[in-house]
Amino acid sequence: MANKQRVKGAEALLMSLIAEGTDIIFGYPGGQVIPIYDHLYDYKDQINHILTRHEQGAVHAAQGFARVTGRVGVCMATSGPGATNLVTGIADAMLDSTPLVCITGQVPQTLLGTDAFQEADIISMTMPITKWNFQVTSASEIAGAVAKAFYIAQSGRPGPVLIDITKNAQVEEVDFAYKPCIYLRSFQPKPEFDPALAEKAVEMINRAEKPIILAGQGIKLAGAEQALIEFAEAGNIPVAQTLMGISSVANDHPLCVGNLGMHGNVAANEMTQHSDLIIAVGMRFSDRVTGDLKTYAPHAEIIHVDIDQAELNKNIRVALLVHADAKDALEAFKVGLKYKDRTAWFAFAKDKAALEDKLVISCSADPEGKQITMSEVVQRLAVAEKSDAVIVTDVGQNQMFGARYSRFNRTRSFVTSGGLGTMGFGLPAAMGAKLGVPDREVVCIMGDGGFQMTMQELGTIMQNRIGLKMIVLNNNYLGMVRQWQQLFFDRRYSFTDLENPDFAVIASAYGIPSRRVTEPCDLEAAIAELVDAPGAFFLEVIVKREENVFPMVPAGASLSKLIFNE
C-alpha cells in the first residue's frame, strides 16, 4: 500500500482513477460534481477530459473507447438529470458486456431523501442494469469503491458499474492510499476449467460430420481470437459470427461462412439448421440469432461455452455445458482434435452463398443506375478502406448493411449496439473509439434518424479535433421501422417519414469538411475524398428511399423461413 497523504475526496477520486490507468474521461460538469471538476483542472496533464455535448454522448463514447481498446471506459455526470441521462448507455453496456465505470455526483448526505434540487435515486434506477453500484457518502470510501468498481467492471463477463458520490464526500479530507482490488469473497470471475469437459467436447467434435462454430463477442472479450482460429483449423470447422462477434475472424479466412441471425448470411443460418453439432462460444443464443426456438438447429447437439453461468441453458437446452473462459476452453479443445475432410459441408456453404448472391437484390447497385443504394455505399467503403478500418454503426438499416457488407482483417473492428439496439449510439461511440485507437481509421455509418438523436456531438468532434470519418445514409425514413411496416403492416407508413435538413451544411457549421452526394456516378470519388481526408470528414449520401435489408428472418420465425425480397 502506498504512503498516505491528506487530500480531499474529489482529489482522492482522481488519484484512484489514475492508479487504475485511466487517462481519458468523457463527461459533463454540473452542480454536484463541481469539486471533482475543480481538482480535474490540476490533473489535465494526466487525464484528458472530453467535454461531450450531452451525458448520453459521454456514456456512449466511453463504450466505444472500451470496445476497441479492451480497457475500462470512464464517464462522469452530475446528479439528477445528468445521472439519468447516462441510463440508456448503462443499459446498453450491460446487455453488450462493455466494461464501464460511471461516476455521478449526488446531493450532500444530509439532503438525501428530501427531494433536494437535482436529487434522483440513481442507485435504485441503475441496480438492474449494472454489475454493481454503490453510493459513497464519506471520503474514506472513495478509494475502495473505485478499486472494487474497476475489478468488477473488467473481470469475468465485463459490464458497467456506477459510483454515486455525495457532494460532502467530495469536499471532506481523507488520508489517501490506494490498493487495487484483486479479489472479492464469494466472487469467482474466471471459473476453473474442468479437463473432463474438454475430453467430452473433443469426443463429440470428432464424431460430428457437419459441425459449426458460433463465435460471439466473448471471443473478443477473452482475447481468444487466435485460439479460435487454431481450434477451427485443427478440426477444419466452419465459423459463423454473431452481430457482436463480427471481426473476431477475418472475413477472408477460408473457414469464415458469414454472420448469423435475422439479417445474417444465408450460409451461416442454413448451416445452423443442417448442422449435427454446434459449438457456441461466448454468445447467448439471443432471439435475433435463433429465431423460433422450437425449430432452431433441429439436427444438432450443442456445446455451449460461456464465462457467465447464467447464460448456460437459459434460452437453449444444450448437450454439454462448459462454464469457462473462451480462451481456456478453445485451447483445451484443440488437444486430441482430429482434422476431417469436410468438402461436402463447405460445398453446402458455397451453394448457399451463391443463392444469396443471386436472390438478394440489394447486394448490388441500382440496376437502372439512377439511385445510390446503402449496400453499395458500404461495399465501396470496404474496398476503399482495404478492410482495415474500425466501423461503428448506429442502429437500423445502416447497422445491418454495415454488418453485412463491411470487411475486416483484424479484431475489435466492428462496434455497434447489439442487445439494446440504441439509436443515437453511433456518433458518440465512434468518437470514443477514435480517441481509443487514434492511429486507426474509424468510420461511423449512420442513418438519418439515429444521427439526429446525438448529432450535437459534432461539437465535441470540432472542439477536440477528433479525426473521425462519418457517413449518413439519408433515405428520409426511419428505415428499419418502415421496412417492417412495408412487409408486415400493409405498407401503412405510420410516422416513419422524415423531413431532414441538409446535414452536410450542419457539419460545415461545425467546421468539419463535408460533402453531399446524390448521384451514383459521384459516389466513388466522394468515398475516396472521405478516406483521404487528413482529419474529420462528413459525407451525406442520399440513398434509395425504400431499399430493404435482405435476406431477413421475420421475428419469431424459423431460420429456414428466409425472405429474400419484398
DSSP of 18-81: HHTT--EEEE---GGGHHHHHHHGGGTTT-EEEE-SSHHHHHHHHHHHHHHHSSPEEEEE-STH
Contact at 8 Å (CB) between 391 and 406?
A: yes
Contact at 8 Å (CB) between 435 and 461?
A: no
Which of 299, 327, 352 terminates a domain? The answer is 352
| Separation CA 88–CA 50 (nearest Å) | 19
- Name the active-site residue from 8, 167, 327, 544: 167
Say if residue 203 is in the same domain as residue 348. Answer: yes
Say if residue 431 is in the same domain as residue 291. Answer: no
Residue 565 inside a domain? The answer is no
- Name the active-site residue from 15, 283, 480, 552: 480
| Separation CA 546–CA 527 (nearest Å) | 22
Secondary structure E strands in 355-413: 390-393
Say if residue 330 is in the same domain as residue 387. Answer: no
- Name the active-site residue from 117, 187, 488, 489: 117
Beta bridge partners of 305: 281, 322
Say if residue 498 is in the same domain as residue 374. Answer: yes
Say if residue 346 is in the same domain as residue 370. Answer: no
Please tell me the predicted confidence (pLDDT) of residue 1. 47
Beta bridge partners of 280: 214, 304
Say if residue 200 is in the same domain as residue 278. Answer: yes
Half-sphere exposure of 151 (CA within 13 A, CB side): 18
Give me 106's grid cell: 449526488
| Separation CA 119–CA 80 (nearest Å) | 5
- Name the active-site residue from 11, 55, 172, 331: 55
- Report the side by side order of strands in the sheet with 442-447: 414-415, 390-393, 442-447, 469-474, 537-542, 514-517
Please tell me the predicted confidence (pLDDT) of residue 366. 72
Give the model confidence (pLDDT) of 447-465 as tens digits.
Answer: 999 999 999 999 999 999 9
Residue 561 inside a domain? The answer is no
First to last CA, the chain: 66
Residue 122 inside a domain? The answer is yes
Residue 183 inside a domain? The answer is no
**Total structural domains within the chain:** 3
The H-or-E segment that residue 462 falls in is helix 458-464
Which residues touch 331 (CB under 8 Å, ≥6 apart)?
227, 230, 231
Say if residue 449 is in the same domain as residue 373. Answer: yes
| Separation CA 463–CA 62 (nearest Å) | 17
Closest CA to 118 of 83, 169, 87, 89: 83
Half-sphere exposure of 447 (CA within 13 A, CB side): 31
CATH of the domain at 16: 3.40.50.970
Which of 126, 148, 176 terminates a domain? The answer is 176
Known active-site residue 271: no
| Separation CA 516–CA 61 (nearest Å) | 26
Give me 257's grid cell: 461462412
Residue 464 inside a domain? The answer is yes
Give me 224's grid cell: 481468444
Residue 219: give the domain boundaries: 195-352
Say if residue 411 is in the same domain as residue 329. Answer: no
Report phi then psi at 282, rounded to 5. Answer: 65, 35
Q: Return per-residue pLDDT of the chain as tens, 566 residues.
A: 456 899 999 999 999 999 999 999 999 999 999 999 999 999 999 999 999 999 999 999 999 999 999 999 999 999 999 999 999 999 999 999 999 999 999 999 999 999 999 999 999 999 999 999 999 999 999 999 999 999 999 999 999 999 999 999 999 999 999 999 999 998 889 999 999 999 999 999 999 999 999 999 999 999 999 999 999 999 999 999 999 999 999 999 999 999 999 999 999 999 999 999 999 999 999 999 999 999 999 999 999 999 999 999 999 999 999 999 999 999 999 999 999 999 999 999 999 999 998 888 655 567 777 899 999 999 999 999 999 999 999 999 999 999 999 999 999 999 999 999 999 999 999 999 999 999 999 999 999 999 999 999 999 999 999 999 999 999 999 999 999 999 999 999 999 999 999 999 999 999 999 999 999 999 999 999 999 999 999 999 999 999 999 999 999 999 999 898 86
Residue 396 inside a domain? The answer is yes
Report phi then psi at 86, rounded to 5. Answer: -85, -15
Closest CA to 266 of 393, 360, 174: 360
Report phi then psi at 469, rounded to 5. Answer: -100, 135
Known active-site residue 431: no
The two beta strands, 173-176 and 5-8, are antiparallel
Say if residue 342 is in the same domain as residue 463. Answer: no
Residue type, 560: S
Please tell me the predicted confidence (pLDDT) of residue 171. 98
Say if residue 335 is in the same domain as residue 366. Answer: no
H runs (alpha helix) in 262-396 = 266-274, 287-290, 326-334, 343-359, 374-384
Inter-CA distances, 328 with 184, 282, 325, 519, Å: 22, 12, 5, 51
R_g of the chain, CA atoms, integer Å: 24
Q: Is the pTM for the entire model greater than 0.85?
A: yes
| Separation CA 518–CA 246 (nearest Å) | 30
Give the model confidence (pLDDT) of 375-392 as tens digits.
Answer: 999 999 999 999 999 999
Known active-site residue 117: yes
Please tell me the predicted confidence (pLDDT) of residue 230. 98
The H-or-E segment that residue 177 falls in is none
| Separation CA 494–CA 475 (nearest Å) | 16
The two beta strands, 514-517 and 537-542, are parallel
Residue 564 inside a domain? The answer is no
| Separation CA 457–CA 113 (nearest Å) | 34
Say if residue 316 is in the same domain as residue 373. Answer: no
CATH of the domain at 238: 3.40.50.1220
Say if residue 151 is in the same domain as residue 55. Answer: yes
Residue 562 inside a domain? The answer is no
Which of 176, 205, 221 terminates a domain? The answer is 176
| Separation CA 299–CA 282 (nearest Å) | 22
Per-residue burial over 424-435, b = 16 or more CB atoms within 10 Å of its CB, e = otherwise: bbbbbbbbbbbb
